[in-house]
């Protein structure tokens, strides 16, 4: 199950709704009703191909060809190069927040028309990605949480704050994500000790956060890139605390392993991915139908149940039972990564991270 989240870094959607949900635009002639959708390979693509795309086709008449995306920013580069040649490897793609922002700089994304997304006003504001002039560049497809995880045999009492990572009794006991841009530990530090992530607005504030975060280094046994390595060490108690993915930890607990996921009082870290439309796509109408479908409460709820992702819609429009919602999300206000910093100060942040934290 650990590979589930490795592939999840920014994708998902699910289907299953009654046909007739949509009044299909007359422009969609039978031979035109197809769509290429970029999703990450492996677990996600298999899930989409089996459970999601067939139901979407049933409901809308639009056939879907799934395209396996490489991870990281390689797909952004491919889409950009193809668009310059007037080609679209995929009409709709799942993109990380940072890649969505980078794509904005070259107008890579066709603006999404909110009027064509029935539940647009039910989306949580943080899941609408906009161009500087207000046009909608991307709409949140799915979200997931990184939380404070611990081995219940080693730590019978659940921690209630991210500050637990700094405690003296955690020396050589932590597993933390290895990159500044995927651990979001600067944001955790700012929210826990500096009053909020707006403390990172200035370079002075960023350096203060680095200095405070450096204090956690004696407690870190593993700065991990291989998620499966940390998950195994957490289960065994070899590395009994750290940060990890809420839903995968929940799956491990359900399988009987002595692990727990805790939403600290400062909030879990909520990361997410957007649906975006390539400017080279000739299937703009179909793309809007797809995004509309994936933004329905029933489909968002289905994804939470079947794939373990957090919904991007307001809680009160969902059909999730309290225990189903708790399995994937939380009512505690989350820590939202400062994606803007990873587009404007990426090199500097990576340099300081290496010098001060993991070097």
pLDDT above 70: residue 20: no
Stronger pLDDT, 310 or 43, i.e. the higher one: 310
pLDDT in tens, 188-211: 999 999 999 999 999 999 999 999
Mean pLDDT of 135-148: 95
Angle of helix 97-104 relative to helix 74-84, nearest 10 degrees, comes to 30
Mean pLDDT of 145-167: 97
CA atoms within 13 A on the CB side of 101: 12
Instruction: Decide if 150 contacts 235 (C-beta within 8 A).
Output: no
Q: Is 343 exposed, middle or buried (0-12, 13-18, 19+ CB in 10 A)?
A: middle
Mean pLDDT of 228-251: 94
Lowest mean pLDDT among 9-13, 33-37, 79-83, 117-121: 9-13
Residue 105 neighbours by CB distance under 10 Å: 10
pLDDT in tens, 286-325: 999 999 999 999 999 988 887 788 999 999 999 999 999 9
Mean pLDDT of 341-349: 94
pLDDT in tens, 75-100: 999 999 999 999 999 999 999 899 99
pLDDT above 60: residue 21: no
Q: What tokens appear for 102 in the block?
A: 């980078």
The DSSP symbol for 91 reads S
């Amino acid at each position: 199950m650990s590979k589930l989240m490795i592939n999840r870094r920014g994708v998902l959607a699910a289907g299953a709704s009654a046909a007739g949900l949509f009044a299909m635009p007359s422009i969609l002639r039978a031979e035109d009703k197809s769509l290429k959708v970029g999703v990450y390979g492996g677990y996600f693509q298999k899930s989409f191909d089996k459970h999601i795309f067939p139901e979407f086709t049933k409901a809308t008449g639009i056939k879907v060809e799934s395209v396996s995306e490489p991870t990281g920013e390689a797909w952004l580069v491919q889409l950009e190069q193809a668009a310059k040649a007037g080609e679209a490897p995929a009409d709709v793609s799942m993109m990380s927040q940072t890649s969505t922002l980078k794509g904005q700089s070259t107008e890579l994304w066709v603006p999404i028309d909110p009027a064509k997304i029935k539940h647009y006003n039910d989306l949580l504001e943080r899941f609408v990605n906009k161009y500087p002039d207000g046009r909608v560049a991307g709409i949140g497809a799915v979200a997931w949480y990184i939380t404070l995880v611990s081995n219940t045999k080693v730590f019978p009492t659940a921690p209630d704050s991210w500050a637990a990572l700094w405690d003296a009794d955690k020396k050589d006991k932590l597993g933390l994500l290895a990159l500044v841009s995927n651990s979001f530990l600067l944001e955790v530090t700012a929210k826990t000790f500096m009053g909020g992530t707006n403390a990172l607005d200035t370079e002075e504030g960023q350096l203060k956060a680095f200095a405070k975060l450096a204090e956690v280094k004696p407690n870190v046994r593993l700065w991990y890139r291989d998620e499966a390595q940390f998950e195994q060490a957490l289960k065994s108690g070899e590395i009994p605390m750290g940060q990890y993915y809420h839903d995968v930890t929940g799956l491990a607990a359900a399988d009987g392993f002595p692990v727990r996921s805790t939403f600290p009082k400062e909030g879990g870290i909520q990361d997410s991915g957007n649906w975006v439309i390539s400017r080279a796509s000739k299937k703009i109408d179909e793309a809007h139908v797809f995004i509309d479908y994936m933004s329905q409460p029933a489909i968002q709820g289905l994804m939470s149940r079947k794939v373990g992702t957090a919904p991007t819609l307001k809680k009160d429009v969902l059909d999730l039972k309290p225990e189903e919602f708790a399995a994937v999300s939380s009512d505690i206000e989350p820590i939202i990564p400062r994606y803007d910093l990873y587009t404007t100060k990426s090199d500097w942040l990576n340099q300081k991270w290496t010098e001060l934290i993991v070097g």
